């Protein structure tokens, strides 16, 4: 199973030779790779890019599908972007977006965010 991807999309990826998050990261890291995955699977490059970015964020301990989607909602879609964030500001952005979108039950603590940023750096 590919984390965060299910149903028909997971089947399409598997038929295209993408069986794991590792496969997705390795093949989808470049624009050319994403174009090729899209061609083989019939899935849009934009969605593949989102999944590749999530897969990259999953490498940070403590970030799963829900927090990756949450980070994506505040504009943090890559590990380098996460590394460049200030913990307190990111926490404020997350709190603000969660008021309107209600993406998570519990906003990560400053300490968790600091840990993520440290790992990303």
**Each residue's pLDDT expressed in tens, for the chain with a length of 121 residues:** 567 788 899 999 999 999 999 999 999 999 999 999 999 999 999 999 999 999 999 999 999 989 999 999 999 999 999 999 999 999 999 999 999 999 999 999 999 999 999 999 9
Is 2 contained in some domain?
Answer: no
Same domain, 54 and 13: yes
User: What is the extent of the structural domain holding 36?
Assistant: 7-58
Both 73 and 106 in a single domain? yes
CA distance 90 to 23: 30
Do 49 and 74 fall within a single domain? Answer: no
Verify that 14 and 49 share a domain, yes or no: yes
Domain count, the chain: 2
pTM attached to this predicted model: 0.85
- Cβ atoms of 71 and 51 within 8 Å: the answer is no
Tell me the helix, strand and coil percentages in the chain, rounded to 5.
70, 0, 30
């Amino acid at each position: 199973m590919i984390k965060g991807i299910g149903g028909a999309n997971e089947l399409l990826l598997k038929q295209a030779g993408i069986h794991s998050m590792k496969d997705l990261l390795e093949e989808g890291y470049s624009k050319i790779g994403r174009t090729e995955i899209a061609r083989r699977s019939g899935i849009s490059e934009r969605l593949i890019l989102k999944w590749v970015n999530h897969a990259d964020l999953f490498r940070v301990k403590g970030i799963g599908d829900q927090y990756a989607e949450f980070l994506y909602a505040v504009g943090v879609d890559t590990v380098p972007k996460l590394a460049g964030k200030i913990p307190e500001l990111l926490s404020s952005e997350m709190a603000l977006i969660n008021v309107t979108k209600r993406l998570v039950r519990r906003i990560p603590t400053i300490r968790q965010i600091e840990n993520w940023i440290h790992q990303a750096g």
